[in-house]
Structure 1
Amino acid sequence: MARVFLNVSNNVSRIYRESLFATTAILLIGIAASPAAAQSASAGDTATTLEPIVIQGASSDSKADRTSVTAKNSAGATKISTPLVETPRSVSVTTEKEIEQRGAQTVIEAVRYTAGVTTGPNGFDPRFDQIYIRGFNITTVGDFRDSLRQPYINYGMFRTDPYQLQRVEVIKGPVSVLYGAGSPGGLINKISKLPTEEPIREVGISYGTEDRLQGMFDFGGPIGEGKDDFLYRIVGLARRGDTNFDIADDRYFLAPSFTWKPDEGTMFTVYGLAQSDETDSNVGAITTLDGKIHELRESDPDYDDQKVRQQQVGYQFEHEFDNGLTFRQNLRYSHLNLEARYLGVTGWTGTVAHRGTNAIRDEMNVFQVDNQLESKFDTGPLAHTMLFGLDYTNLQSSFGYGAGAADPAFDFDIANPTYGVSGATPDYSILASDADMRQVGIYALDQIEVGNWRFNLGGRQTWVNQTRDAILPAVSSEEVDKNAFSWQAGALYLFDNGIAPFVSYATSFDPVTNRSTSGKILAPTEGEQYEVGVKYQPPGSDILLSAIAYHIVEKNKPVLVDPLLFAYGSIGEVTGKGIELEARAAVADGWDLIAAYTYNHSEVTGGGENEGNTPALTPSHVASLWANYTFQETNPFHGLSVGAGVRYVSENWTDTANTSKNPSSFYIDASAAYDFGAVDKKYEGLTAAFNIRNIADERDTVCNEGFCYLGQGRNMTGTLKYRW
């Protein structure tokens, strides 16, 4: 961690100048605009008495997420902690209990039982968390952690291990009003494990496919006996081993955090992360000239590697004023360094593939701050919770790419496949690029309650400035300024029996960083969504059901057209229409049920030769069902918990030209866990778990615009944990 804080100290003066400006501006904007503040100043004794603000702290949410698969609240869609059944948007939450119950090893595995979500569209690729929402790829533009974006600009991406997380929120549809640049499909918001008032002590070890050995620990709680003003948490993990197809999956991370609560209305949490990952860079399958896909890796495991070092440090501050205002500031500094090399096929002679070397380097430094001022007040029968925000992001990056000519030493005969070659790494001589991006946004959101009605209305102005200095033939330096106004509105009626029909509208804006074949940065994408649905949560229950229909349009959608030059084109306008059904419920004592079905029809509705076609990797049907039963005390199998799940993805096109299809896929997962405390109280806290994914070992290949990837086969892990 020392290196993390050294990096931050070098930037501390710049960070606090930016932070001070943002904080001062948001306080002035919020206080001037707040009706509650105006009433306090002028109404005297006749001012409306405000309801006390109840801060939904990390402790209460964290405890609920460990004990139920059904989340009750989320701030992901509004930045205000709101009951999910009262939120006029589609939001799905994977809790910590569900993550552990299914033994999720990646964020992909954590969200794959969520309606509207398609995971791993490019087969098995542990370099990135590849996720589509409602038919739109949000892998690079919808990755958020603790409500701050983990940005992408060149190649490398920040990675998150599910063991670090309290929950994973899937917010569906455009949310540019609150988060700025983003996809019309939505975003994934990963909520970190942070200090809680409840003591946490856990150590564990797991072993699985392939020779994958992992140790982890999670400690936290109050510092000192009988005190809750100082809290701490430290989460760590060390993993060594491979996954299917000899793809490395090594990871080490340490994530400490500390909370100070000097009084009931103030909370300050500082946190850090130091993480090291090593996997492979080219996980694609060999495709011969006749189009046949072989279950053979194009690169060589002994040559191939991708090493990523990432560090993050930040804080979350919250203070409730006496006049009914609450101020929050979320600040983070992140650094990423990536080095990768791999072999790629350059030509063929008979059954022999000629391979050349490739190398990539990528570095990012990101400073982010989000300032919020929340005010609760009444205007006649209307109860308002109003949020004003000002956020700022500054990203600086450096990228390099190099390639070497085909070398006979790297030839690969598919008739006699052998691996185990290595060699030198090429220089970064083909492309060198420095890219910066700055985003500033001012936003406001009003949540209104009147009787059983719930309304929200929000708007945001976003300014984005991008610069890119490149050394590449036909590519010159470029600076682009872009701005956009985004807005959203929603209405929901909450019946006393827990049924809640709703309707919403929202827009999105994304100033893409992709370049065209002429070297120019592409035009921003723009999106809008209409959504109508109904939620149902019987009062006091751990049951949440939803049925939703949506209509999304995205303009200027980019698509990769020249991978050698990292060049993109636009396929024009894409329209998606669909229906989602989802259930997360504790249906009876010991029974947990998670079910999801998605129908999605995506079509290119404007853009030349592909108009009328379906975009690649957008299946029409996706369905999943997970059930878990924990035997109760009266049962002789008390202490045992068993679960099983099925997942189905229908066939989908391999390219937007709709020339061929990826086959449909069907997977079966299962789990079993045992609490040894059921045998004897002296073993209380000791648990063993076994999880198996893709029991039938289905290994379908997946192709996307000419590139084909191997599907992950059977994967198993056994875990032993002790909590006290």
Structure 2
Amino acid sequence: MKLRTRKSTKQTALLCTVSVIALATDLPRDAFAQASLPPVTVDAPQPQRARSTTATRSQTSARATRRTRTTTPQISPAPSVNERIYSADNNSYVAGQASSASKTNTPLIDTPRSVSVIDRKELDDRGVTSIPEAVRYTAGVTTGGFGYDPRFDQIYVRGFSTTTLGDFRDGLKQFPSGFTTFRTEPYQLNSVEVIKGPAAVLYGQSVPGGLVDRRSKFPVENQVNEISLEGGTYGRMQTAFDIGGASSDKSLLYRLVGLGRAGETNYDIADERLMLAPSITWRPTIDTTLTAYAILQKDETDASVAMLNRDGQLVNVNGATIKLRSSDPKYDYLRQQQAQVGYKLEHRFDDVFTFRQHTRFGVLHAESRYVSGSFATPTSTVYDRGAVAVGDDQTSWQTDNALQADFATGPVVHRTLFGVNYDHNTWDFKLGLGAVNPGYALNILNPVYGIAGPTQGYTSGSRSTQEQVGVYLQDQMRLGNWHLSVSGRQDWTDRTQINSYTGAVTGARNDNAFSYSAGLLYHFENGIAPYVSYATSFQPETSLGLDGIVLAPSEGEQIEGGVKYQPRPDVLLTASIYDLKEKNAAKLAGYVNGIAYYASVGEIRVQGFEFEARARLTPELETVTAYTYSDAEITRSSIATELGKTPAVTPKHTASSWMNYTFLNGSLEGLGLGAGVRYIDATWTSNDNTSRNNGYTLFDLAARYDFAKLGPKFAGYQASINANNVADEQVAVCNSGYCYLSQGRTVIGTLRYRW
């Protein structure tokens, strides 16, 4: 199939040219020093101790002796580039805390639930190019439930998809549209955080398995500027930059992150992107911080990447499996433009009260088209196709307001959080289905791609509006080495759907739900921290019952127990067992006049064990190693053949390990090598468990070199190469009647300059 040339290629080439000039120019060191302002440590991360020291003294006396305020920053020795660019407390794969876990700065070792953080260092070392790539070495997480489909971030946590209701960015939900979602560029992220198990008590409606929170890059005092160039397989070309700075008194900080990419990925799928993310932080006083930001993005990929299948399997001709796309890469596209604008405000009133507000407004516009169809007979070799067009327009607004209080009642130290959250989302969905066109037919014995034709007109449409108001309260208590967290949240949701052409209401429902959680942890002096927790969640449904009314929300609950071990800041081991249930899920109940109706009778139970190790084993060697055992079962269903069966594409065993070795001395000093292995067990192709997807093992490799080891004139220059799925295993993944292929081999080389 012939590669396509797209408009954004010229724009990307222009950005590449600018970056090449910057990289090739030997700028004076004094210019990069930005007048050599002395570094400060106002926000510098502090090494995490083996046991939390948060609020160890009575805060009653702390209030009596309020800290002395000063606007003069403390001078400290200049940190290295790596110490400045990577925010982990110890320049390793171990994060000290996860903002999303409790919406406070509680250390991970003192958080009574399983949470994983993929920081910027790991993202760079593994050469991550998508969110699924970012999390696939994480315990309890699987990706590619529909093979390789770059339209969405397909991520499952503890057996439940987080693609839609589990998609968060900086603590606020990224709502989906009818056919598309807000797409996230990993280069613009500082970290990715995965909460495992129900999280509705802080975030409202969400899936039982958990959520994935993408944490953006914002201004920092010790900014490391960066320009990078990439080239790779399938004509990939990319240039990116991350530039920032601060005023002399550090009261004003700024950052600008940008990226341009052109090319394709496996199976002739377009992969083009332009992204610009400016942000600015203003600190008028030591107690007040205001950050305003915007994320502007324009993408093009393909709308349908499914493979030809028959009876829920890849097409087989004369005993050989045929791997052909059902759509046509030349005709097919998904063009998406999105913008998000927001601000984050924090004000500390005194030593007790701190107020935080995060508000964001987002818009999304997408136009898609592809061809799809079917075989006329079970033995036909001609796939008859017609045109399909899909349109999405979305506006969303979210705000989260939280008041934190730090105080003590006798020997018990409290960190209490009271919050109010509001979400509003409206999306217009348009669909056009064309008749079978003989000119679009595909002969699987002699496949010819490259069709041309008009875009199908829209024939139906709907407008959906969803609102949610949530009020939550959380109290994190500490008594000696005991840590107790208790939370509760009340939500009110309202959703309405109308026919865009007739104005008729096709679905409406108001619901309210109370979610709660509790966790208890004991932190021994030797770094061992056993814990137990309980949490609930709810998820509004869109399916209609026999009476034409939208069904009540499904519910989730989980009991989890585990142990964490952190003997030093650069080692964190977590082992957990859990019993997770989803109840009252919508299941197909029958048809009336050809129209499907559903009933709230579905129930899935997942019992599992997870182990994750993030550790620096030696000064040169670090690892992320994970294993997951998941026993999932459909315990209630309106479909008799599903009872007692395993949900589709849910593996029982998954395991992965990433090792990174950096030479610190000798003739190879400056060289870094990485290797990873990922195993995914066999899965069922459908809920009735009649056929299987094969299990598979994939290998990843990486190498990088820091040219500073060659001499001072090369300081800041780095080169790397990352190869994913080096054996090019294109594994078939069939899910509920649709078949896809997993992503094949990709090789990407990167040259970057940091100063």
Superposition map of 1:67-86 within 5 A? 67-86=91-110
Name the amino acid aligned to 1:328.
R
In the alignment, is the contact (CA less than 8 A) between 1:302 and 1:421 conserved in 2? yes
In the alignment, is the contact (CA less than 8 A) between 1:66 and 1:96 conserved in 2? no
Residues 1:447 and 2:469 aligned together: no
Residues 1:601 and 2:631 aligned together: yes
Cα distance, 1:61 vs structure 2 = 10
2:282 alignment partner, one of 260, 284, 296: 260
Larger mean CA deviation between 229-238 and 291-300 belongs to: 291-300
In the alignment, is the contact (CA less than 8 A) between 2:670 and 2:707 conserved in 1? yes
Superposition map of 1:680-719 within 5 A? 680-719=711-750
In the alignment, is the contact (CA less than 8 A) between 2:312 and 2:734 conserved in 1? no
Name the amino acid aligned to 1:243.
T
Cα distance, 1:323 vs structure 2 = 5.7
Secondary structure of residue in 2 paired with 1:98: helix
- Which residue of structure 1 lines up, in the alignment, with residue 694 of structure 2? 663
Secondary structure of residue in 2 paired with 1:404: strand
In the alignment, is the contact (CA less than 8 A) between 2:314 and 2:739 conserved in 1? no
- Which residue of structure 2 lines up, in the alignment, with residue 129 of structure 1? 153
Question: Identical aligned pairs, as a percentage?
Answer: 47
Cα distance, 1:63 vs structure 2 = 2.7
Deviations 1:193-249 (A, max 9, x none): 000001221000101121010010000121x3x321100000000000000000001
- Which residue of structure 1 lines up, in the alignment, with residue 8 of structure 2? none
- Which residue of structure 2 lines up, in the alignment, with residue 319 of structure 1? 347
For the structure 1 residues 417 and 450, does the alpha-carbon distance in structure 2 shift closer, same or farther, using more than 3 Å as the test?
Answer: same
2:422 alignment partner, one of 352, 367, 392: 392
Structure 2: how far apart are the matches of 1:658 and 1:302?
36
1:383 alignment partner, one of 413, 420, 430: 413
Structure 2: how far apart are the matches of 1:262 and 1:303?
53
- Which residue of structure 2 lines up, in the alignment, with residue 423 of structure 1? 453
- Which residue of structure 2 lines up, in the alignment, with residue 403 of structure 1? 433
Larger mean CA deviation between 667-676 and 281-290 belongs to: 281-290
Structure 1: how far apart are the matches of 2:276 and 2:344?
19
- Which residue of structure 2 lines up, in the alignment, with residue 652 of structure 1? 683
Name the amino acid aligned to 2:452.
S
For the structure 1 residues 356 and 53, does the alpha-carbon distance in structure 2 shift closer, same or farther, using more than 3 Å as the test?
Answer: farther
Structure 1: how far apart are the matches of 2:260 and 2:548?
42
Cα distance, 1:710 vs structure 2 = 1.4
Name the amino acid aligned to 1:329.
Q
Unaligned runs of 5+ in 2: 1-57, 70-82, 316-321
Name the amino acid aligned to 1:139.
T
Deviations 1:389-413 (A, max 9, x none): 0010111111111110111110100
Name the amino acid aligned to 1:189.
D
For the structure 1 residues 91 and 136, does the alpha-carbon distance in structure 2 shift closer, same or farther, using more than 3 Å as the test?
Answer: same
- Which residue of structure 1 lines up, in the alignment, with residue 649 of structure 2? 617
- Which residue of structure 2 lines up, in the alignment, with residue 95 of structure 1? 119
- Which residue of structure 2 lines up, in the alignment, with residue 302 of structure 1? 330
In the alignment, is the contact (CA less than 8 A) between 2:312 and 2:736 conserved in 1? no
Name the amino acid aligned to 2:255.
R
Scaled by the length of structure 2, the TM-score of the pair is 0.86
- Which residue of structure 2 lines up, in the alignment, with residue 217 of structure 1? 241
Cα distance, 1:616 vs structure 2 = 0.6
Unaligned runs of 5+ in 1: 1-38
Residues 1:287 and 2:309 aligned together: yes
Cα distance, 1:514 vs structure 2 = 4.2
- Which residue of structure 2 lines up, in the alignment, with residue 437 of structure 1? 466
Structure 2: how far apart are the matches of 1:543 and 1:420?
53
For the structure 1 residues 363 and 592, does the alpha-carbon distance in structure 2 shift closer, same or farther, using more than 3 Å as the test?
Answer: same
Structure 2: how far apart are the matches of 1:247 and 1:401?
22
For the structure 1 residues 685 and 401, does the alpha-carbon distance in structure 2 shift closer, same or farther, using more than 3 Å as the test?
Answer: same
Structure 2: how far apart are the matches of 1:243 and 1:335?
27
Structure 2: how far apart are the matches of 1:695 and 1:475?
53
Cα distance, 1:443 vs structure 2 = 0.3
Structure 2: how far apart are the matches of 1:171 and 1:156?
23
Structure 2: how far apart are the matches of 1:648 and 1:664?
8
In the alignment, is the contact (CA less than 8 A) between 1:124 and 1:709 conserved in 2? yes
Structure 2: how far apart are the matches of 1:475 and 1:585?
58
In the alignment, is the contact (CA less than 8 A) between 1:466 and 1:480 conserved in 2? yes
Structure 2: how far apart are the matches of 1:72 and 1:231?
24
Cα distance, 1:292 vs structure 2 = 4.0
Structure 1: how far apart are the matches of 2:705 and 2:90?
17
In the alignment, is the contact (CA less than 8 A) between 2:375 and 2:381 conserved in 1? no
Residues 1:525 and 2:554 aligned together: yes
Deviations 1:678-712 (A, max 9, x none): 11111111011000000111111101110111121
Residues 1:488 and 2:512 aligned together: no
Structure 1: how far apart are the matches of 2:589 and 2:395?
28
Structure 2: how far apart are the matches of 1:616 and 1:280?
25
Name the amino acid aligned to 1:285.
M
In the alignment, is the contact (CA less than 8 A) between 2:155 and 2:161 conserved in 1? yes
Structure 2: how far apart are the matches of 1:518 and 1:53?
66
Structure 2: how far apart are the matches of 1:281 and 1:331?
31
For the structure 1 residues 522 and 82, does the alpha-carbon distance in structure 2 shift closer, same or farther, using more than 3 Å as the test?
Answer: same
In the alignment, is the contact (CA less than 8 A) between 2:496 and 2:505 conserved in 1? no
Residues 1:641 and 2:672 aligned together: yes
CA RMSD, Structure 1 to Structure 2 (Å): 2.6
Structure 2: how far apart are the matches of 1:688 and 1:388?
47
Name the amino acid aligned to 1:496.
E
- Which residue of structure 2 lines up, in the alignment, with residue 21 of structure 1? none
- Which residue of structure 2 lines up, in the alignment, with residue 578 of structure 1? 608
For the structure 1 residues 383 and 526, does the alpha-carbon distance in structure 2 shift closer, same or farther, using more than 3 Å as the test?
Answer: same
Cα distance, 1:619 vs structure 2 = 0.4
Structure 1: how far apart are the matches of 2:409 and 2:710?
59
Residues 1:462 and 2:462 aligned together: no
Residues 1:373 and 2:403 aligned together: yes
- Which residue of structure 2 lines up, in the alignment, with residue 15 of structure 1? none
2:168 alignment partner, one of 144, 148, 152: 144
Secondary structure of residue in 1 paired with 2:87: helix
For the structure 1 residues 141 and 373, does the alpha-carbon distance in structure 2 shift closer, same or farther, using more than 3 Å as the test?
Answer: same
Cα distance, 1:676 vs structure 2 = 0.7
Cα distance, 1:322 vs structure 2 = 2.3
Cα distance, 1:656 vs structure 2 = 0.6
Superposition map of 1:553-568 within 5 A? 553-558=581-586
- Which residue of structure 1 lines up, in the alignment, with residue 88 of structure 2? 64
Aligned residues: 674
Structure 2: how far apart are the matches of 1:454 and 1:529?
19
Name the amino acid aligned to 2:348.
E
